[in-house]
């Protein structure tokens, strides 16, 4: 008896168009109103019913994960490039700023990402783990290069990311950048014998 491989069905053209319209509408609505904007507004903007939205994205986090998929990959590729070179405190600073910009894509997204970190049922959980893994590896390598203070931990840097993302959302990018600069001035290794 021959084994047959089940065929994966490609989505119908109209279903694919609906998905693309939903993602474009969600990007627009979330960009204007935040990550907690009513999903009914997304469906209406896409010109579909709410049932169609839930047929493609059963949860808000599933929709958010789909919206962030390309951005996540870009961020991960950047992290991998940073890990491919000598890592210093400046490298960690660069990563923090990139993650903060990413987490502030939509108002309220930083909180969604922080909540997803500890929720393994979230569609965003795996990408949050990967983001944190890259950050932890960068912190470890910068500490070994003696450019970060010896007591700096990955948890310290993750706390900075969350605080700066919140600051960017509520006080603007300039204030978030200032916060990162001030904190990194304290995190950098210094010659304490002088």
Read off φ and ψ for residue 3, nearest 5 degrees: -85, 140
pLDDT at residue number 137: 96
pTM value is 0.84
pLDDT at residue number 5: 62
pLDDT at residue number 192: 43
What is the Cα–Cα distance from 164 to 99, expressed in whole angstroms? 10
- Can you name the residues that pair with 188 across neighbouring β-strands? 148
Helix residue ranges per DSSP H, 3-59: 13-33, 39-46, 50-56
Asked whether 126 and 76 are in contact (CB, 8 A), the reply is no
Tokens, residue 98: 């990139």
Neighbours of 73 (CB within 10 A): 11
**Residue 64: CB partners within 8 Å, gap ≥ 6?**
30, 35, 109, 112, 123, 124
pLDDT at residue number 14: 83
pLDDT at residue number 193: 39
- Classify residue 172 as left (phi > 0), alpha (psi -120 to 50) or beta: left
What is the Cα–Cα distance from 188 to 181, expressed in whole angstroms? 11
Neighbours of 102 (CB within 10 A): 20
Asked whether 40 and 34 are in contact (CB, 8 A), the reply is no
CA gyration radius, the chain? 20
Q: Hunting for tokens 């590896």 — which residue is that?
A: 137
**Residue 78: CB partners within 8 Å, gap ≥ 6?**
95, 98
pLDDT by residue for the chain (194 residues), tens only, comes to 555 666 656 667 787 899 999 999 999 999 999 999 999 999 999 999 999 999 999 999 999 999 999 999 999 999 999 999 999 999 999 999 999 999 999 999 999 998 898 898 989 999 999 999 999 999 999 999 999 988 899 999 999 999 999 999 999 999 999 999 999 999 888 754 33
């Amino acid at each position: 008896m021959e084994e047959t491989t089940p065929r994966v069905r490609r989505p119908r053209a109209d279903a694919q168009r609906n998905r693309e319209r939903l993602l474009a509408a969600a990007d627009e609505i979330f960009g204007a109103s935040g990550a907690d904007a009513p999903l009914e507004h997304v469906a209406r903007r896409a010109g579909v019913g709410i049932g169609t939205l839930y047929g493609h994205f059963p949860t808000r986090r599933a929709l958010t994960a789909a919206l962030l998929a390309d951005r996540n990959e870009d961020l991960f590729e950047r992290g991998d490039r940073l890990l491919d070179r000598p890592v210093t405190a400046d490298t960690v600073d660069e990563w923090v700023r990139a993650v903060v910009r990413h987490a502030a894509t939509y108002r309220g997204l930083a909180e969604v990402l922080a909540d997803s970190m500890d929720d393994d049922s979230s569609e965003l959980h795996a990408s949050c783990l990967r983001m944190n893994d890259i950050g932890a590896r960068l912190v470890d390598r910068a500490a070994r290069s003696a450019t970060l203070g010896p007591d700096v931990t990955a948890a310290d840097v993750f706390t900075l990311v969350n605080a700066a993302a919140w600051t960017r959302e509520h006080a603007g990018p300039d204030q978030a950048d200032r916060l990162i600069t001030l904190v990194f001035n304290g995190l950098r290794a210094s010659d304490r014998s002088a």
